[in-house]
Amino acid sequence: MADSSHGTPGTTVAVGSTGRQLDEFDNPGLPPHRPRLADRDPRAEKRAERQVALLFAISVVGTLLFFVGYFFIPLDQTIERLRLQNLMLGLGTAFAMLGIGVGIVHWAKTLMPDHEVTEDRHDIRPESDRQDAEKIVNDILDESGIKRRPLIRNTLLGAALLAPLPAIAIFRDLGPLPGNALKETMWDAGVRLTRDPSGTPIRAADVTIGSAFHVIPEGLNEAEHKLEEKAKAVVLLMRLDPNELNPSPGKEDWAYDGIVAYSKICTHVGCPVALYEQQTHHLLCPCHQSTFDVEHEAKVIFGPAARPLPQLPIEVDDEGYLVASSDFQEPVGPSFWERG
Amino acid sequence: MSSSTATQTYVPKTRVGKVTDYVDSRVGGSAIVKEFGRKIFPDHWTFMFGEVALYTFVILLLSGTFLTFFYDPSMAETTYEGSYLPLRGVEMSVAYASSLDISFDIRGGLFMRQVHHWSALLFVAAVAVHMLRVFFTGAFRKPREFNWIIGCTLLILSLAAGFTGYSLPDDLLSGNGLRIIDGVMKSIPVVGTYLSFFLFGGEFPGTAIIGRLYVLHILLVPAVILLMIGLHLFLVVLHKHSQFPGPGRTNTNVVGYPVGPVYAAKAGGFFFIVFGILAAIAAAFTINPIWNYGPYDPSPVSAGTQPDWYIGWVDGALRLMPGTIGNFDFEFMIPFPWGTNALPLNVLIPALVPAIILFTLMFAWPWIEAWVTKDTREHHLLDRPRNAPTRTAIGVAGVTFYCIMWAAASSDLIATHFMVSLNDVTYWLRVLVILGPILAFMVSRRISLALQRKDREIALHGRETGRIVRLPHGEFIEVHEPVDDYKLYTLTSFESPQAELPTPDKDGKVSRLDKVHGRVSRFFFEDRVAPVTPRELAASHGDHHEEVAGAKDREAISSR
């Protein structure tokens, strides 16, 4: 502060010395007590007393309101009735509690003494206590002999370090090892693409340009670990003009006549990429807004995902239904260390 | 109490007296009453945040216990047959079905669920605001550093309690939350996949997670929270509460109201007020309408969903992080002799780095500041935030960093609500999350210093009365009224440490650490406003005739 009227540096001593400033105002002590209305006027005092009692009475009314809501509003499977009961239970409780609470605080603020009192702080650790404690600790250490017998001390240390390890190891059976579980899905050559959740198969002819299907593999609804399989196998099916697709070499036959299938599990942290923008052919994940471009093999064009959605190679079987030509060629969903 | 030393054994006369004496002579209640009955607690409205946290926790225990009697943490498949007609016949987990039963078939169940959820939201908020109060007033300084650490631990525990509870209804929304946790966990190098498989008992979602979260939520986490609250309050009693500076208050006393009756009445009554307000909110405002979401299914997801507010900042960070910049890919493929391993930094960085920055700074702050100030004294008088401009500015920067990430968790809602491009919202927030804290630091430090200067002006020249007076020679002045001694003391009784230059040791050398310390000390204390001294005040009365004129003016008025 260059402007000296805003304080001249050097008027305070550096911190860490005595802590008292050399040139400071004396503490004027507590300001004089200001009497409240109820302290001076007996009528105000009486009024405050009645207000407190009224607040307590409001609490009683609140409790009664709760019982009315609980016993006299039978639930009849309609949301309206449930709302009404919830409102009465809630307001009843609110009045019951606020009546008591506001009443007590009002009582304290208007009728109980409001003189501020000063109390001294004490040393958290008086020096005499410290000396006594030090002596006690030394005596304990001496009597235990832990310093004189390093053999005992060291073996105990070793044992105490090892002893907790079983407590960690015993949690091993919390779950199986990952194995190949994250790299395989229910899809395989010839598995039909079916609608989610009904499980009805999809004909290539049903998929018109611009439409999108939420797809599960055939047989998923009967699978033993349905949710776990579904969490990996859900697929989005879209049909574009074949000229709009730009497959990379070797993937030309992964689509069928403009119909492409991509994993619905976001490569970011695994939310379902559920929003399809029909005009731009973008897929958007509603959780963290990763955006994938279906025209360019679902590559990331915005957001936190770093990898394209894996593509499911598809073809058509003899009856005209869409089937997978194989499983996904790479693990679906969020990245993990072993993904490689 | 002991009859062997007393010449005459105390014989209670009344019935209440007899009962009291019976208990007292067995548990030593007299000593407790003597110690705490009239203990002094300072009073200030900002001291109530901690109370709110404690009371909401009690309400959480009460309402949570009720819920455990009806909730069933099983992920077994069942078909819903309860009162909510739109979901009748739908396959779902027992956990979700029992949550629906609590809402629709147990009288008062919906109310208790809503009280529980609203209390949880308020609990975390109260802990956070309480910590901000402690930070901005410097209440974490010696001797209260460990209690600050306990408080930080409580904040993390409250987040853990909130998150484990959020997932229990096993609805679509919380299931997607778990899915995100699973994805984040898998991004951890080397052990991530194993952690995920161990937590979920196999592949996501499995059938174990709800039961495990339930045990954490109703047993482990609350038990540790209770333990920490016990330690926290023990230390509060041991240290005695800090107080704001002011007339009559010193570093060696404590000024306030005695526990009995005033403080106990106010604090006790406040519990009922907090409960009442939460009950009113739970009565009128729906929270987490799980029946709208349906059971968890890995395929559907609803757009525009939000996590509970306290998880928002992590979700926002996940949204802000770009997966790729140009051709630079944040997911690294690291070739090892045994094959390639994936390191998805696009997930790891936002999930961990902001939390590490915020929590490390938070935990370490008492020692960081003590190192900067080289201050080893006890502090029982709080700082007004403006009187510690750099600390205040750092705190505001941290809050800004947090809030921008929090806002990013609503980026899609901001875009749809204000009809702007979602991508633009994200781009702007990416810039703001870096620039915002820096700007907030600079602006808030300037505001603190400006407020300090205003304080000086008031101390030196008094309060503007708004009265314009014409002097005999025609000059117009505004009358300033000098502040009274009490106000003057409040405005001037603060410390304004100065930057410490490194001092050479006896060989005339300055160690590297000393140099760093000198730079940091300059950064903290170079811009400072010193408190007004009596000398300055006396000098200002000589220079400025407003006060004198004002005094004359008052005399003139009073003599009329």
**Mean pLDDT in residue range A320-336:** 95
A90 touches chain B (CB under 8 A): yes
Token pair, residue B4, equals 């062997």
Same domain flag for B32 and B79: no
B11 assigned to some structural domain: yes
Same domain flag for B58 and B169: yes
Query: What pLDDT does residue B543 have?
Result: 55
Residues 6 or more apart whose Cβ sits within 8 Å of residue B145:
B366, B367, B370
Same domain flag for B185 and B262: yes
Same domain flag for B4 and B124: no
Question: Is A175's CB within 8 Å of B198's CB?
Answer: yes
Question: Is B330's CB within 8 Å of A306's CB?
Answer: yes
Which residue in the block uniquely carries the two structure tokens 């729906």?
B286
Peptide bond into A113 cis (omega under 30): no
CA dist B70 and B84 (Å) reads 17
Domain range spanning residue B172? 43-245+255-298
Residues 6 or more apart whose Cβ sits within 8 Å of residue A324:
A187, A188, A189, A190, A191, A193, A217, A261, A312, A313, A314
Question: Is A31's CB within 8 Å of B530's CB?
Answer: no
Count structural domains, chain B: 3
Same domain flag for B113 and B193: yes
- In total, chain A counts a number of residues equal to 340
pLDDT at A13 over 50: no
pTM listed for this prediction: 0.91
Query: What pLDDT does residue A19 have?
Result: 41
Interface test with A, best of B203, B330, B500 (most A CBs within 10 A): B203
- Using alpha carbons only, what angle is made at residue B45 by residues B41 and B47, rounded to the nearest 5 degrees? 55
A262 touches chain B (CB under 8 A): no
pLDDT at A7 over 80: no
CATH of the domain at B85: 1.20.810.10
Q: Which amino acid is at B69?
A: F
Q: How far is A130 from chain B (nearest CA, A)?
A: 16
Q: What are phi and psi of B106, to 5 degrees?
A: -100, 120
Query: What pLDDT does residue B539 have?
Result: 84
CA dist A299 and A7 (Å) reads 62
Interface test with A, best of B191, B299, B318, B332 (most A CBs within 10 A): B299
B445 assigned to some structural domain: no
Note the pLDDT tens digit of each residue in A188-246.
999 999 999 899 999 999 999 989 999 999 999 999 999 999 999 999 999 999 999 99
**Do B492 and A24 meet the contact criterion of CB atoms below 8 Å apart?**
yes
Question: Is B204's CB within 8 Å of A103's CB?
Answer: no
A:149-188 residues touching chain B, CB 8 A cutoff: 171, 174-178, 181-182
Q: Who among B108, B284, B375 is closest to A70 (CB)?
A: B108
B97 assigned to some structural domain: yes
B63 assigned to some structural domain: yes
pLDDT at B511 over 90: no
Q: Who among A15, A94, A337 is closest to B495 (CB)?
A: A15
Query: What pLDDT does residue A2 have?
Result: 35
- CB count in 10 Å sphere of residue B334: 12
Same domain flag for B12 and B138: no
Same domain flag for B14 and B123: no
Which residue in the block uniquely carries the two structure tokens 């004359």?
B552
| Chosen CATH of A193-339 out of 2.102.10.10, 3.60.15.10, 1.10.10.60, 3.40.50.300 | 2.102.10.10
Query: What pLDDT does residue B260 have?
Result: 86
Quote the mean pLDDT of chain B.
91
pLDDT at B494 over 50: yes
What does B359-375 look like in DSSP terms, one character per residue? HHHHHHHHHHHHHHHT-
Interface test with A, best of B301, B386, B391 (most A CBs within 10 A): B301
The structural domains of chain A, with segments of one domain joined by +, span 1-30, 52-174, 193-339
B347 assigned to some structural domain: no
Query: What pLDDT does residue B7 have?
Result: 57
Note the pLDDT tens digit of each residue in B93-113.
999 999 999 999 999 999 999
Contacts of A112 in chain B (CB under 8 A): 261-262, 265
Which residue in the block uniquely carries the two structure tokens 């502040």?
B483
What A287-296 contacts at long range (C-beta under 8 Å, 24+ apart), as own/partner pairs, is A287/B176, A287/B180, A287/B301, A287/B305, A288/B315, A288/B318, A288/B319, A289/B319, A289/B411, A289/B412, A289/B422, A289/B426, A290/A266, A290/B323, A292/A262, A294/A238, A294/A240, A294/A260, A294/A262, A295/A240, A295/A244, A295/A245, A295/A246, A296/A246
B338 assigned to some structural domain: no
Token pair, residue A82, equals 């449930």
Same domain flag for B23 and B57: no
B171 assigned to some structural domain: yes
Question: Is B269's CB within 8 Å of A171's CB?
Answer: no
Same domain flag for B8 and B68: no
**Mean pLDDT in residue range B273-301:** 94
CA dist A132 and A62 (Å) reads 57
Same domain flag for B4 and B70: no
Query: What pLDDT does residue A340 have?
Result: 74
B344 assigned to some structural domain: no
Same domain flag for B27 and B66: no
For residue B5, name the pLDDT band (cuts at 50, 70, 90): low
Same domain flag for B23 and B72: no
